[in-house]
Amino acid sequence: MQSSDYLEKILGTLSGSFDIYRPVAINAKEYPAYGYFFSLSEKFLVTQKVNLWSARMYEHIVFMQVDKCTEETLAEARDLIENHMENMYVRKGEKYPEKDHMVSYVTVCIISETSPSANVINSVKNYRFNKNYLFTVRGRAEGRIICVDTSAETVYGNRSARQVFNIYNRGFHAKNP
């Protein structure tokens, strides 16, 4: 399967829940797509005027297409998560996220035409990024790296990404959008 075909299928799968923007420029580099998801949960007492609590959950996904996922590709993905996405999407340039922020998942999905090396797969699996804000009073951010090998139709990711593997595996079996 070609990486462009996989990208179209996975974006079609995600478009039911995510706002998809194509293409997106980050730090003067263009990426094929960006996905944004937001969920708000609230608990009220008797009427909506008495709000007991609110919780906001976000997910941000930046898609990359490469011929082969390498250590340099992973370094770029880590930089995207830790220096750009966390700052601009989670905290919006501020010291802390907004009130009622619970969790933000910042994800980079690398779609590779060929299989990555064993060292790269281990680097993907061992990646960790967790950041708490005010001892989690203002929530937390969690980083995910997902590497999709379109030649072997396999999905690799770090521990945090395991809960969404089934979604990215659907990209191999989804019908054309």
Classify 151 as helix, strand or coil: coil
The percentage of the chain sitting over the pLDDT mark of 90, rounded to a whole number, equals 68
Q: What is the H or E stretch that residue 9 is in?
A: helix 3-14
Q: Reply yes or no on whether the pLDDT at 48 is more than 60.
A: yes
At 67-101, the pLDDT tens digits run 999 999 999 999 999 999 999 999 988 898 988 88
Q: Reply yes or no on whether the pLDDT at 55 is more than 90.
A: no
53 — pLDDT class (breaks 50, 70, 90): low
Specify whether the CB–CB gap between 67 and 112 falls below 8 A: yes
Q: Reply yes or no on whether the pLDDT at 51 is more than 70.
A: no
pTM: 0.89
CA distances 124 to 77, 118, 155, 161, Å, are 10, 10, 11, 10
Average pLDDT over residues 146-154: 94
Q: Which residues constitute the domain of residue 81? A: 3-173
Q: Which pLDDT score is estimated for 174?
A: 64
Average pLDDT over residues 132-155: 92
Number of structural domains (the chain) is 1
At 15-36, the pLDDT tens digits run 999 999 999 999 889 999 999 9
Specify whether the CB–CB gap between 133 and 139 falls below 8 A: yes
Token pair for residue 61?
A: 């996904």
CA–CA distance, 129 with 141 (Å, rounded to integer): 8
The percentage of the chain sitting over the pLDDT mark of 70, rounded to a whole number, equals 95
Specify whether the CB–CB gap between 87 and 149 falls below 8 A: no
Q: Which pLDDT score is estimated for 176?
A: 56
Q: Which pLDDT score is estimated for 153?
A: 92
- Average pLDDT score, the chain: 90
Q: What is the H or E stretch that residue 38 is in?
A: strand 33-45
Q: Treating both helix axes as pointing N-terminal to C-terminal, what angle do 3-14 and 165-173 enclose, rounded to 10 degrees? A: 120
Closest listed residue to residue 140, CA positions, set 94, 169, 107, 101: 101
Q: Reply yes or no on whether the pLDDT at 144 is more than 90.
A: yes
